[in-house]
């Protein structure tokens, strides 16, 4: 399979995704952060200041995004998460706590997944169909647990630049919509002294360069007819100085006319109809 046929003859596909990790990002980073209000406040900034700006921008551009929401965030910010859903965005799973499922017992991950899914169902009243693993590591057990809790797609791996069917090794398949570090704002921008983030205390990246990287990835995606997945975290992407660059990027993606801007669920529906698992299971 060389050229993918995207919906409505679009040249490529683009997913605008949002990780609502809030302060749970920092709690997973270092549990002691529970006693550190200053560090926690960086995550709270995302929900209190970043998210409203992002939602307004998405409304204005008429772009629907996919929000991966940890159960811990949905429980603490239920009204805000309901608002996201009511404005037409997709709510997808991210487990409950944002722990490192690569190094924790599989049973614990399964219980966390169940809890995260239950909180989301309670808060938004629908069963989510997508999942993204937390920022650290995970195993096939993590994805099996997501599938068992209703996820038909995941956006967690980086081994391709088009959706593909991932064999879960238990007779089930999951559609993976891969994402890459290059298109995720938080690793470029997150900073803290104690606990140190990043570990080596690298400087906050230059804004113009970061958004230029995003733009270059998008332009390359258009050239090659692929699927790019932008990951935003409002705690880092939506500061007053970064908002104009984000607005510029999303406007360009929208106005290029080259991209089918899809939610994860829409991608799943399209892909499973056009390239179903039994038709083409290894791209």
Partner 1 sequence: MEDRLLWKNGARCAVMLTFDLDGDTTWKNGNARYEGGGRFLKSCSVGLYGPNRGARAILDLLEKYDVPGTFFVPGKVAEDNPDLIRRIDAEGHEIGQHGYTHEMFFNYGRERQIEIIEKCQNIFCDLIGKPASGFRTPSGDWSLDTPRLLYERGVGYSSSMRGNDRPYHTAIDGEKTDFIEIPTRWELDDYVATAYNYFPAEPDGQDRISGYDLVYDNFSREFDGYYEYGLCFVSMIHPQVTGTPGRLRILEKLIGHIKERGDVWFARGGEVAQWYREHYDREEVLKNV
Binding site for partner 1 (CB under 8 A): 100, 102-103, 133, 135-143, 156-161, 178, 180-182, 187-188, 197-206, 208-210, 212-221, 223-224, 226, 228
Q: How far is the CB of 200 from partner 1 (least distance, A)?
A: 2
Shortest CB 45 distance to partner 1, Å: 20
User: Nearer Cβ to partner 1, position 148 or 219?
Assistant: 219
Helix (H) / strand (E) element for 262: namely strand 259-262
Q: What does DSSP say about strands 66-69 and 12-19: parallel, antiparallel, or unpaired?
A: parallel
Select 102 or 125, whichever has its Cβ closest to partner 1: 102
Phi, psi of 172 (to 5 degrees): -110, 155
4 or 124, CB closer to partner 1?
Answer: 4
Rounded CA-CA distance 17/66 in Å is: 5
Cβ closer to partner 1: 23 or 161? 161
Letter string b/e over residues 29-46, b meaning 16 or more CB atoms within 10 A of that residue's CB:
beeebeeeeebbebbbbb
Question: CB-wise, 67 or 101, nearer to partner 1?
Answer: 101
Spatial CB neighbours of 263, under 8 Å, sequence gap ≥ 6 = 15, 64, 65, 66, 89, 90
* Closest to 66 in 3D by CA, of 264, 268, 271: 264
With beta carbons less than 8 A apart as the criterion, state whether 268 and 20 touch.
no
Closest contact distance (angstroms) between CB of 52 and partner 1 is: 27
Shortest CB 177 distance to partner 1, Å: 13
Please name which of 104, 89, 98 lies closest in space to residue 23, comparing C-alpha atoms: 98
Min dist CB 245 to partner 1, Å, is: 13
Q: How far is the CB of 213 from partner 1 (least distance, A)?
A: 5
CB-based contacts of 79, cutoff 8 Å, min separation 6: none
Instruction: Compare residues 127 and 158 and give the one whose CB is closer to partner 1.
Output: 158
Q: Is 15 helix (H, G, I), strand (E, B) or coil?
A: strand
We find the least distance from the C-beta atom of residue 121 to partner 1, in angstroms, to be: 26
Q: Which is nearer to partner 1, 126 or 283 (CB)?
A: 283
Q: What ranges make up the beta strands (E) of 83-207?
A: 90-93, 130-131, 153-154, 164-167, 173-176
Residues 6+ apart with CB under 8 A from 31: none
């Amino acid at each position: 399979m060389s050229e993918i046929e995207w919906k409505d003859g679009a040249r490529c596909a683009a997913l605008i995704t949002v990780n609502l990790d809030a302060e749970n990002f920092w709690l997973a980073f270092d549990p002691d952060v529970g006693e550190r209000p200053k560090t926690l406040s960086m995550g709270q900034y995302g929900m209190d200041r970043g998210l409203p700006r992002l939602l307004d921008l998405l409304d204005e551009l008429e772009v629907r995004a996919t929000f991966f929401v940890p159960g811990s965030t949905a429980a603490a910010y239920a009204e805000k998460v309901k608002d996201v859903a009511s404005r037409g965005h997709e709510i997808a799973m991210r487990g409950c706590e944002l722990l490192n499922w690569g190094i924790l017992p599989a049973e614990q991950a399964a219980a966390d997944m169940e809890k995260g899914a239950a909180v989301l169902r309670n808060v938004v009243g629908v069963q989510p169909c997508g999942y993204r693993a937390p920022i650290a590591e995970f195993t096939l057990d993590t994805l099996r647990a997501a599938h068992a809790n209703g996820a038909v797609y995941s956006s967690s791996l980086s081994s391709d630049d088009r959706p593909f069917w991932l064999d879960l090794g238990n007779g089930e398949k999951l559609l993976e919509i891969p994402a890459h570090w290059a298109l995720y704002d938080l690793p470029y921008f997150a900073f803290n002294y104690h606990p140190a983030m990043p570990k080596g205390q690298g400087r906050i990246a230059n804004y113009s360069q970061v958004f230029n990287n995003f733009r270059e990835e998008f332009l390359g995606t258009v050239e090659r007819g692929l699927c790019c997945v932008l990951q935003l975290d409002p705690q880092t992407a939506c500061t007053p100085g970064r908002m104009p660059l984000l607005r510029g990027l999303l406007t360009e993606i929208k106005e290029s006319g080259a991209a089918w801007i899809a939610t994860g669920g829409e991608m799943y529906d399209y892909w499973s109809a056009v390239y179903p698992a039994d038709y083409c299971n290894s791209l």
